[in-house]
């Protein structure tokens, strides 16, 4: 099983808590690699507003990693799939593993994923809504999807996208990403998504001025909602901020 590590964000913003995200890395990479990709490219005034928990996937990589020679091993994968991405192996075990992570390290407000982790993250709210995944944890309220796509198998897709994804979501679409077309289709399945378009390929991009503006709007919306949700709990229990 994979290891966990919190992000490098510092303190609380204002008097509210930071939205807590479980971060799911790409295929045959790792939690540490995603941590370096995100914290190394996004400015501190963004990451300091998020409580990021990076998790390794449950299965050691069964083949060569595309990041060999760039990032050090070990490498992991969330589940296995065929060349058409329509048949999956160990998918149910993957869902159970993520739920256990969320129970142990949560509660979480949202999920952030890159590549295979993004595909998973975007599908989980719908699977949770249908009662087939994450039934023992609070409802996922936010998504950050980097280089994402939709599941192709009807077995998963019919449940994951039975309804539009209603939670607040932020999507990164790369002009040269091989998953760009699939990422656009995913956006069509979401309600009022925030969208950051960048000129790069299948990667975690740096934030230029325009991208940063979208990111900050997304963070502002989350913080406002998180603060409102926290204030409703005051009458029920004491909250130490």
Q: Residue 14 falls within a domain, yes or no?
A: no
Q: What pLDDT, in 10s, does the model give residues 204-226?
A: 999 999 999 999 999 999 999 98
Element (H, E) at 44: helix 44-47
15 assigned to some structural domain: no
Mean predicted lDDT score pLDDT of the chain: 90
pLDDT in tens, 76-107: 999 999 988 889 999 999 999 999 999 999 99
What is the structure's pLDDT at 23? 98
Query: Taking the CA of residue 111 as centre, how many other CA atoms within 13 Å lie in the half-sphere pointing to its CB?
Result: 30
Asked if residue 8 belongs to a domain, the reply is no
Extract the tokens encoding 143.
């998504």
- Per-residue pLDDT band for 227 (boundaries 50, 70, 90) equals confident
In a domain, 229, yes or no: yes
Residue 166 lies in a domain: yes
For residue range 131-152, what is the model confidence (pLDDT) as tens digits?
999 999 999 999 999 999 999 9
Model pLDDT for residues 160-192, shown as the tens digit of each residue: 999 999 999 999 999 999 999 999 999 999 999
Q: Phi and psi (nearest 5°) for 46?
A: -95, -55
71 is in which domain, residue-wise? 20-239
From the list 50, 201, 181, the residue with the least C-alpha distance to 112 is: 50
- What pLDDT score was predicted for residue 9? 38
In contact, 153 and 115? CB cutoff 8 Å: no
- Give the pLDDT score at 230: 63
Whole-model pTM over 0.85: yes
Per-residue pLDDT at 10 = 40
pLDDT at 240 over 70: no
pLDDT over 70, % of the chain: 88
10 located within any domain: no
φ, ψ at 86 (rounded to 5°): -120, -15
- In 11-79 the beta strands, taken as DSSP E runs, fall at 20-24, 51-55, 59-60, 76-77
Res 12: pLDDT = 41
Instruction: Give me the number of domains the chain comprises.
Output: 1
Q: What are the distances in angstroms from CA 113 to CA 3, 51, 78, 189? A: 16, 14, 11, 17
Task: Please tell me the predicted confidence (pLDDT) of residue 226.
Answer: 82
Q: Which CATH number is 213's domain given?
A: 3.40.50.1820
pLDDT more than 90, % of the chain: 84
d(CA 74, CA 90): 19
- Among 170, 238, 227, 234, smallest CA distance to 204 is for 170
Give the integer Cα–Cα distance in Å for 161 and 201.
26
Is 133 inside a domain boundary?
yes
Q: Is residue 62 part of a domain?
A: yes
């Amino acid at each position: 099983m994979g290891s966990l590590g919190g992000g490098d964000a510092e303190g609380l913003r204002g008097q509210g808590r930071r939205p807590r995200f479980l971060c799911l890395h790409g295929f045959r990479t790792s939690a540490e690699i995603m941590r370096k990709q995100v914290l190394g490219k996004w400015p501190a005034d963004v990451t300091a507003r998020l409580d990021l928990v990076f998790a390794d996937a449950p299965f050691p990589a069964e083949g060569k990693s595309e990041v060999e020679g760039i990032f050090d091993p070990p490498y992991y994968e969330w589940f296995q799939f065929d060349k058409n991405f329509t048949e999956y192996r160990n998918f149910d075990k993957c869902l159970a593993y993520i739920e256990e992570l969320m129970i142990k390290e949560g509660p979480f407000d949202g999920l952030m994923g890159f590549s295979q982790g993004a595909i998973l993250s975007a599908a989980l709210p719908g699977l949770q809504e249908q009662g087939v995944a994450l039934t023992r944890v609070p409802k996922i309220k936010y998504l950050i999807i980097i280089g994402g796509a939709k599941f192709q198998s009807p077995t998963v897709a019919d449940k994951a996208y039975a309804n539009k994804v209603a939670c607040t979501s932020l999507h990164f679409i790369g002009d040269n990403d091989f998953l760009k077309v699939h990422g656009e289709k995913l956006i069509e399945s979401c309600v009022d998504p925030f969208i950051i378009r960048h000129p790069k390929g299948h990667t975690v991009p740096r934030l230029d001025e325009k991208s940063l503006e979208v990111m900050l709007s997304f963070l502002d919306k989350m913080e406002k909602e998180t603060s409102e949700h926290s204030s409703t709990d005051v009458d029920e229990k004491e909250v130490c901020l």
